[in-house]
Each structure stands twice: as structure tokens, then as C-alpha cells.
Amino acid sequence: MIKTVCSKGKLVAKTGNEVMAEAMRQIEPDVVAAYPITPATEIVQIFSQFVADGIVKSEYVAVESEHSAMSETMGASAAGARAMTGTSSQGLSLMWEMLYIASGLRLPIVMAEVNRAISAPINIHGDQSDTMGARDAGWIQIYSENSQEAYDNMIQAIRIAEKAKLPTLVTTDGFIISHCMEVVETYPDADVKVFIGKYEPERYLLDIKRPYTLGSIDLQDYCFEHRYQLAQAMRDAKDIVLDVAKDFEKTFGRKYGLYEKYMLDDAEIAIAVIGSTAGTVKVVINELREKGIKAGLLKIRVYRPFPAEEIAKDLAHVKAVAVMDRADSCSGAFAPVYSDIAASLYASGIISPKVVNYVYGLGGREINTEHIAGIYETLCKK
């Protein structure tokens, strides 16, 4: 059990990148390896300054590419270190090969990831095509609506990853959250240290008393079994996320779940969305409620593992739901979040909500209250 601490937070004005770096400072991982990329550069830049100034004792490794960053982080984690990194967009895609190996080897790495469009065309602004492309790489994915959630999610991610023995990434929307300043409540260093606890890996390569092999060839005899174990670990991670969230609420007073329901329980029409757009949707819901329109929101926080049964249950009573994807599918298939929600409803035998899909905000294109209101207006006609 984690000891409950009564903390008194401090209100500060910081950007999303700054608070993610602040969370990393408080966590003080043993090793951070990274290569800078817009719009995530500031996270590791600020953290590297903490290292240079002697504020943290972490080993910071400046590598020559994001592929090397993930390789270095994996090596550190396999050796028994608490390891972290950060990246975005093309950087994440350059890590692609290693992402699957990190999860397959069950290494509890934590990544600060800033959502940005995948090229081409070259675009440095925010959409979620990068992490959506990695949605089946075996990483737990936690999304943030604002800087406060980014900070809180980073702190929780360490506990989640180490308990689940799965790598975990925490995201913010590029520039919208990463570079915009907000008031954030940060917690005392001592309280964060107590919450995350001391890292004591079950097995690690530098344990000379219990030597073992990691990453050996795995052919027809056991490959299937080990992939099944990884899939089961991801399913089990839902309970771990919720357990960590309960401890976080007891310690710091903020409540988190797999997703957030905003005026959804009695809603007749709803939007399902991930990330910063949820805040815009909430503004529109408040306006519609004043007009007597029962609009609601389901904001997905944990996209992997996907809470399929839970989401299907909470959308079952809605007449119509619009799933908003900030990523498209160039394969002729449906967009990712829409596919997951539609499949969840079908698998649960729920046919009542009419489900429509909106692909929006690609390459950082603006989404405003008028756009959201228009979606709800369309839903009313379904």
C-alpha cells in the first residue's frame, strides 16, 4: 500500500511542456535518453538543464536519433533503471521498430509524447496521427485534455507502467497544450516521491545473483504464448490504471478514470473525443443545456488498453453519438477511435445509438464552438 500524504499544492503558470518536464524532475528517473523534435523539444531541453544544474541526479543521454533514444532507454530499463524519454510525430515513427520490442520485453518505460501530424506533407502542428499509428504497439496510451492532466498523468504513468510491466506514453496536443500557458497545481516534491515509491524491478539484467536472458529468439514453440501474455497484461492494465487513480485521488485530491463523462448520464446526444477538444465540447454542452438540449460528452483518457465494455455501457442509452477523430485512415478504412467505439457497441450487442464519424483538426486546423455546435445540431436530426 502507498502511504496517503496530505499535500498542499502550489499554483503556477506553466505550459504543457514545462509541466511535463516538472513531473520528470520530481520523478527523477535514473536515465533519460532523447533527441529533440518540435513541439516536444522543450520537455527534454528543460530536463537536461535540470541535469546540468545538478537539480536531479539522472543520467541524461543526448543521442543522434529517436531510434537511438528508444534503444538507449530500453537498455537502461532492462538493466534495472527507471527510464524515461520524450518525442513527437516523426520521432515516434522513427522509434517504431523499438516500440514493439519495448512492450514485448515488458519494459516499464514512460514517454512524454506531444501529438503532432505525421508527414507528408510536412506539418509541425497538432493532430493525433502519430500515437494513433502506434496504437497497437503494446504501449499503454494516456491522453491529456490540458496541462493539469498532463502533469497528473505523468506522475501516475510511472506507477502504472511499473505495476503493469508495460511501457506507457502520456500525450498532449501539440502547441494547443504543449506551448500554451495555463494555471496548474503542482505538488510538493516529497509527496510525489512517496506516491511513486522506490523502483524495485522484479528481474533485471545486472542482477548477477539471478542471471537471465532477455530478448532471445522465440519461434513457433513459445512466440504465441508470449504474445498472449502481452495481450493479457494490457487487458489487466485497466484495473491497474484505476487502482493508481484511486491512490492519486486520496493523495492529491484529483479524480481520474479510464474516461470522463460530462453530463452524459441523461444525455440524448453525445460526442466522444480525445484530448484538448474536450474542453471546447464542454463549453458547447453548457450552452446547449441552457436551451434544454440534453447533450453530453465521453472524453477518452486511456485509449490503450481500450475500455470497450465500459464505453459501450455508458453510450447504450444515447440516441446518437458523434465520434471525433483527430487522425484519419489513409487505407480506406474507418478512422481509429470511431472503429473502436463502433466495434465496442457491436460486440456488446448494443444497436441503439446511431454512430457517426467526424475527422477533424488535421495538421492543427482550428476546431471551435461553432463547429461543435454544428455536430450536435446534426445529431439532433438523427
- Secondary structure of residue 92 in the 3-state scheme: helix
Q: How far is CA 139 from the centre of its chain?
A: 9
Least confident range from 43-52, 80-89, 123-132, 207-216: namely: 207-216
| Residue keyed to cell 500515437 | 131
Rounded-to-integer distance, Cα 172 and Cα 160, Å: 18
Residue 34's pLDDT is what?
98
pLDDT tens across 214-266, in order?
998 999 999 999 999 999 999 999 999 999 999 999 999 999 999 999 999 99
What is the model's pLDDT at position 382? 85
Average pLDDT for residues 321-343, to the nearest whole number?
94
Residue 7 has pLDDT above 60, yes or no: no
pLDDT above 90 (res 325): yes
Question: In CATH terms, is domain 10-205+212-252 a member of 3.40.190.80?
Answer: no
| pLDDT tens-place string over residues 198-213 | 999 999 999 999 998 8
Q: What is the mean pLDDT of residues 161-170?
A: 98
Q: Distance between CA atoms of 107 and 23, rounded to whole angstroms?
A: 20
Domain spanning 259-381, CATH class: alpha beta
pLDDT of 32 > 70? The answer is yes
- Kindly report, residue by residue over 335-346, the tens digit of the pLDDT: 999 999 999 999
Distance in angstroms (rounded) separating the CA atoms of residues 264 and 297: 6
Domain 10-205+212-252 identical in fold to domain 259-381: yes
Return the domain boundaries, the chain: 10-205+212-252, 259-381
Q: pLDDT category, 370, cuts 50, 70, 90? A: very high
Question: Does 2 have pLDDT greater than 50?
Answer: no
pLDDT at site 62: 97
Tell me the H-state helices in the chain.
16-27, 41-52, 66-78, 89-94, 96-104, 129-133, 147-164, 189-196, 223-252, 277-290, 308-315, 336-347, 369-380
Residue 304 has pLDDT above 70, yes or no: yes
